């Protein structure tokens, strides 16, 4: 159960960074395509 708990705790912080990076990449592609 500890693994699941650690796995759930990390993404909350790490996932936010990944989401931000993905958002920036998407925005960049949109800017490039227009």
Tens digit of each residue's pLDDT (9 = 90 or more) over 4-33:
555 566 557 778 888 899 999 999 998 888
For the entire predicted model, the pTM comes to 0.52
* d(C-alpha 19, C-alpha 11), whole Å: 10
* d(C-alpha 8, C-alpha 12), whole Å: 7
Is pLDDT at 1 greater than 50 in this prediction?
A: no
CB atoms within 10 A of CB 11: 12
Pick from 16, 20, 17, 14: which is nearest to 6 by CA? 14
What six digits make up the tokens of 21?
Answer: 């990076």
């Amino acid at each position: 159960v500890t693994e699941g708990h650690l796995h759930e705790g990390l993404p909350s912080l790490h996932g936010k960074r990944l989401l931000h990076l993905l958002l920036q990449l998407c925005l960049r592609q949109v800017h490039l395509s227009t």
